A = this chain, B = another copy of it.
Amino acid sequence: LNTINFTPGPSQLYPTVPGHITTALELGVPSISHRSADFAELYASTGAALRDLLTIPPDYHIWFVGSATEAMERIIQNNVRNHSHHLVTGAFGHKFADQALGFGRLVSITEAPWGDGLDLDVLDIPSSAELIAITQNDTSSGTSIDPAAIRRLHQRYPDKLIAVDIVSSTPYADLDIASTDCAFFSVQKGFGMPAGLGVIIASPRALQRAEVLKAEGIPIGAFHSFPELAQSEAKGQTPETPNVLAIYVLGAVARDLAAYGLTRLRTELASQAQAIHAYFDQHSNGSILATNPDHRSHTVIVGQLGASSAPVIDALSARGIKLGKGYGKHKDTHIRIANFPAHLGHTDQLLSMLEEHFPQNA
């Protein structure tokens, strides 16, 4: 049975990934020393591929950590002295806030009802907040924040640092990295890779802030503090032995996606998202959780079935189409459908199977 995973992450592998892993094993990539010139070249090469694909400014840093959750923690430790403000549209926004609470920071939250979304242009951010934490796309609720609104927020609050979770939206989301201080993602979503690597893209200002906090005696951590990450980066190294294999594969996939064409990729994924949204909008029982089209995610689509989702999930699973369950308490009533680059060309098959097992006019 040829399985296609529409689960929101870990998800379907991008089609070139198994080949890149095989090549890496043949080349001996997992055995190269992380203190060698070969590794420095690999760091530079993957960094260049990401800069090219995501239009990362040349003075921004690219750091490798273990996961996106770790990225949240490091951003809090290194960029927040007392108070971070969190824009929450789902469970992952809370997860970001939890990392701040876990390290004793004051947290304030602006939260949208589940499945709504936030209009950043009318938000008032508390003056004592040093950093605004934004989940650009929340996988739990299928909502998304317009990248252009993040740029406008940055212009309204030029003195506050802005950290943006792009875990489940990059490289689809056209985020202006220059309007962020930290953007971060993990590789098992839009890049279609095995999990086990997180990436932090950090502005010079984010590094400076960490150095200020350190000078003030605030514990910013050791091996994955921003200054240590930056010092290692300058040598083409990481502070610890990193996931070298994943760093190799990430560079290769970033080049594949660039070769496919980012504009083409975005156009095609947007079209697929609209087709899935339309299926639910026209359904007699089903609906998209996010009613406001401006706040709907194009990369993780959350549908409500008006009944238990288990029979539909099971029926499609038996035929090789794996859908995601709802998040947390919505496990049995929602379905979640990922729409990542690995899913290009697979939406028609998904929708025709949905029509068989969850027909629009039941």
Chain A residues within 8 Å of B, Cβ to Cβ = 3, 5, 7, 9-13, 18, 21-22, 25, 28-34, 65-70, 72-73, 95, 98-99, 101-104, 186, 188, 193-197, 217, 219-225, 239-246, 322, 324
A68 and B240: CB pair below 8 A? yes
Main secondary structure on chain A at its contact with chain B?
Answer: loop
Given contacts A70-B240, A73-B221, contact A193 B33 (CB under 8 A): no
9 A-B pairs with least C-beta separation: A66-B66, A102-B222, A196-B243, A30-B194, A69-B240, A67-B240, A104-B219, A194-B245, A5-B31
A217 to B104, CA, bound (A): 8
Among residues of B, the one whose C-beta sits closest to the C-beta of A244 is B195
- Nearest CB in chain B: distance from A86 CB, A: 13
A102 and B223: CB pair below 8 A? yes
Chain B neighbourhood of A5, CB < 8 A: 28, 31
Q: How many copies does the complex hold?
A: 2
A5 to B102, CA, bound (A): 41
B98 and A245: CB pair below 8 A? no
A195 to B237, CA, bound (A): 14
Extra 5 A-B pairs, beta carbons < 8 Å, given A11-B31, A66-B243: A3-B28, A5-B31, A102-B221, A103-B222, A104-B217
A217 to B98, CA, bound (A): 15
Chain B neighbourhood of A225, CB < 8 A: 102
A7 to B31, CA, bound (A): 8
B73 and A222: CB pair below 8 A? yes
A33 to B242, CA, bound (A): 23
Identify which of B65, B223, B322 contacts A73 (C-beta below 8 A). Answer: B223
Chain B neighbourhood of A70, CB < 8 A: 66, 70, 223-224, 240
A294 to B354, CA, bound (A): 68
